[in-house]
Structure 1
Amino acid sequence: MQSTPDVMALAHRINPYPLYAELRRDHPVCRVEPGGLMAISRYKDVEYVLKHPELFSSHGLRVAWQPEWVGDNPVAQSLAASDGEEHARLRSLVSRAFTPVAINRLDEKVRASAARLAEGLLARGESDFMEEFATPLPARAISNLLGFDPALERHYKRWTGVIVGVTPVPENEEHVSRTRDTIAEMKRYVQQIIDARRSQPDDDVMGLIVKGGPNGQRPSNQEIIGLAFTLLAAGLETTSFFFAHALRLLAERPDVLERLRADRKLLPKFIEEMLRYNGPIRGLPRIVMADVELSGVRIEHGACILPLIASANRDETRFPHADRFDLAREQTGISFGFGSHYCLGAFLARLEAQAGLDALLDRFSGFSLIPEGVVWNRSLVTSGPLKMPVRVLPV
């Protein structure tokens, strides 16, 4: 292994698992590029970091999402990048909209959207799976939930791609201008929504946020914009990449596809194992709040670390035959986090996954990828394709 591996190198974005295995074995805590982050690769250490926010602050996401070259980025001041009382206060503004009862009300709409999109794939025969299914399905769900104009859904992927595509060092000047312009565009739109909800209250998520918390606390404009940014990015990016990874596995493992088509009761198991085996979350940057030691390596107060969720989910000491996709596996991964930072949208993500996979299994007996057309994202937090051409085989 090179002395300072680049976790953003294309080969590692496409398939990071050989590097992660080497890190777990030989360098469980080591410096990586970009930005000289300290990567944490073993399950026990990643779990410890996520369970102790008092020692490992989510403000690390502020460092990751708002380097100096970006300027103001509201998502860096929001829910995912906060801790303690601030996190609890912001979470209380939206938690009512993410209960199982509230999310189940979307089930019929999500299934109808999935059916229409799957019919579109069927009619085309060959198309970009990201553009035609994996992105628009969660986009429509998040529009319904937040109360955004559905006409703007075509912009969501571009918006969220820019947000999570922030890196410690920009790729070039075009990357700088694209990022700043897109954030400004998003801020203008969300401000319009805020103004509309203040003049005409609604019971969608944006209406709840603008109204304020159960104790009458009113969030600032900056906090509302940050919450909207976070919910949009989290609700779209991770779910779209889940579908991409799931379809890729089904294309490579027709035996798994046949088992699912024969027995839909296996779908919940498939979803949990897919999240562990090749989920959409790469890592979650944190700031070390006191000198600490992990796997025999001392990390100083103030260091920025990168707990590698995807590596922890392949740790052989936690998951027997971790590199094997196993529908009978009992252990689940840690893709949704722990404790106060457990993913607010986990129930919605599972609902969308079940509905989307059902729609695909109803109509297709096979999938084949077109590798030369795949384009991968560039992000410290998420991992997946921006474009993924696919051919479908009807039932």
Structure 2
Amino acid sequence: MSRLNLFAPDVRENPYPFYAELRRNSPVCQVDPHGLWAVSRYDDIQAALKNPQVFSSAGMRAATEPPHLGRHNPLSDSPILADPPRHTQLRNLINRSFTAATVSSMEPHMRSTAAGLVDELVRRRRAEFISEFACRAQIRALVRLMGLDPSLEKQFVRWTVDMVSVGTTSPEDHARLDEVRRTIDEMETFMQELLASRRQRMGSDLVSELLRTRVNDVVLTDKDVIAFLLLMLVAGLETTETLLTHMVLILSQRPEWMDRLRAEPALIPRFIEEVLRFEPPVHVTMRLTLAETELGGVRLPAHAMVALLLGSGLRDETRFQDADRFDPARPAQGSLAFGHGAHYCLGALMARTQARIVMEELLRRCRRIELRTERLEWNSALNTRCPRALPIEVLAA
């Protein structure tokens, strides 16, 4: 049996039958690209996420700082790529600044943005949802969160596209690599100037809060703050944009849920949770084994690159009854969509809040959402799975 290639076109189009085959016959095995060790069952994935002493988050550095990049990537200093105790220290400091109250204070802005975008969508009727709605909704929230000028939105989107492409850019694509390096230089310069400006005049924005936070006389360094802001920009935009996209795609495929949710808005959070399970924004998260270990009855060597297939774990039939059926009414269960354990996603609450507000505004103005393409093309990133474009038409309520 040949190795499964996670980048193969048929796998990208519909990975779930391939994931099911792995769970049945090879729950821990090597796959392409690069002979990664793929872990496909829920319990094994959860066990690895709960054991950073063996399964190190340093494994994800290969995606943010490959050798052919030829320079340091400040995103590699973010807490998502750190192990305890360093991760614990960073998380404690950041949690003091980026709180549930912070997200709650953003809700009026997020709602006014979503309402305006929905109104525009209804007027136009047709749109490419990802670039014209999902990306704009989230980038505006992030710019507001950081207390920045809205004119920076297009620049931030360009930076995010370049940063996401780091792990998938070929070593032979010298022109693209030069573009990415220039983007990193621009981002570092911008962030350094931003921190200097905030120190002269502190505000109530996230950047100011990160700079003033102190726990037991420990503060975040400039490098720490810049890395976290870049993580919010890159991962926060990509993950939430993908969640919103899958949410709307599922509504177009299951129009009965537009009526059901409009009649029972209290079901919206459960609908979002089922979207996160059924089509998670993050399909793969990487780890590096620090020592030889056993997982799922298979011996893994030290220094092995391990791909934890979150998209597979969330369709594991031993964990979720009738796992391939989209069912928001299913009993609430633990979800791996935003990770697990120490590295549970810092932006999970903000992503869920954005999704809920967008859903409420769509239901307010839209009767139906219809897909306007016969076949979707999917992105080629390892960690996320999202259509490259989502052309839709909306019918007003």
TM-score, normalising length from structure 1? 0.94
Q: Which moved more, 1:193-202 or 1:51-60?
A: 193-202
The aligned counterpart of 2:119 is 119
Q: Which moved more, 1:198-207 or 1:252-261?
A: 198-207
Tell me the alpha carbon deviations over residues 245-282 of structure 1, each in whole angstroms, 9 at most, x when there is no partner. 01111111112222112211110110111100001011
Question: Is the counterpart of residue 66 in structure 1 residue 65 in structure 2?
Answer: yes
Q: Which amino acid aligns with 1:92?
A: N
Q: Which moved more, 1:370-379 or 1:310-319?
A: 370-379
1:221, 1:60 → 2: CA distance? Answer: 24
2:267, 2:382 → 1: CA distance? Answer: 31
The aligned counterpart of 1:225 is 226
Q: Which amino acid aligns with 1:219?
A: L
**1:135 aligned counterpart, secondary structure:** helix
Whether the 8 Å contact between 1:50 and 1:338 is mirrored in structure 2 is yes
Q: Which amino acid aligns with 1:261?
A: R
Shift of 1:160: 2.1
2:315, 2:214 → 1: CA distance? Answer: 39
Q: Within 5 Å, which residues of 2 pair with 1:1-395?
A: 3-70=2-69, 71-167=71-167, 170=170, 172-330=173-331, 331-371=333-373, 374-395=376-397
Whether the 8 Å contact between 1:276 and 1:332 is mirrored in structure 2 is no
Shift of 1:42: 0.7
Shift of 1:375: 4.9
Tell me the alpha carbon deviations over residues 272-317 of structure 1, each in whole angstroms, 9 at most, x when there is no partner. 1110000101111001122111222110111110101111000001
**1:298 aligned counterpart, secondary structure:** strand
How many residues are aligned here? 394
1:105, 1:375 → 2: CA distance? Answer: 37
Shift of 1:212: 4.7
2:148, 2:310 → 1: CA distance? Answer: 31
Q: Which moved more, 1:129-138 or 1:89-98?
A: 89-98
Q: Which amino acid aligns with 1:116?
A: G
Whether the 8 Å contact between 1:139 and 1:156 is mirrored in structure 2 is yes
Q: Which moved more, 1:7-16 or 1:116-125?
A: 7-16
Shift of 1:16: 1.6
Whether the 8 Å contact between 2:379 and 2:388 is mirrored in structure 1 is yes
Shift of 1:168: 6.4
Whether the 8 Å contact between 2:169 and 2:177 is mirrored in structure 1 is no
**2:215 aligned counterpart, secondary structure:** coil
1:24, 1:174 → 2: CA distance? Answer: 40
1:166, 1:371 → 2: CA distance? Answer: 29
Whether the 8 Å contact between 2:240 and 2:351 is mirrored in structure 1 is yes
Point out where structure 2 has 5 or more consecutive residues left out of the alignment: none
1:373–1:15 Cα change, 3 Å: closer
Q: Which amino acid aligns with 2:299?
A: R
TM-score, normalising length from structure 2? 0.94
2:375, 2:230 → 1: CA distance? Answer: 29
Shift of 1:377: 2.8
1:89–1:148 Cα change, 3 Å: farther
1:149–1:323 Cα change, 3 Å: same
Tell me the alpha carbon deviations over residues 47-67 of structure 1, each in whole angstroms, 9 at most, x when there is no partner. 101111111111111122111
2:95, 2:41 → 1: CA distance? Answer: 31
1:203–1:92 Cα change, 3 Å: farther
Point out where structure 1 has 5 or more consecutive residues left out of the alignment: none
Q: Which amino acid aligns with 1:163?
A: M
1:69–1:58 Cα change, 3 Å: same
1:312, 1:155 → 2: CA distance? Answer: 36
2:374, 2:96 → 1: CA distance? Answer: 44
Shift of 1:3: 1.9
Tell me the alpha carbon deviations over residues 143-176 of structure 1, each in whole angstroms, 9 at most, x when there is no partner. 1212232211123333223323332662733432
1:295, 1:119 → 2: CA distance? Answer: 50
1:98, 1:209 → 2: CA distance? Answer: 8
Q: Which moved more, 1:382-391 or 1:292-301?
A: 382-391
Deviation beyond 6 Å, 4+ runs, structure 1: none
**1:106 aligned counterpart, secondary structure:** helix
1:178–1:28 Cα change, 3 Å: farther
1:169, 1:159 → 2: CA distance? Answer: 15
**2:67 aligned counterpart, secondary structure:** coil
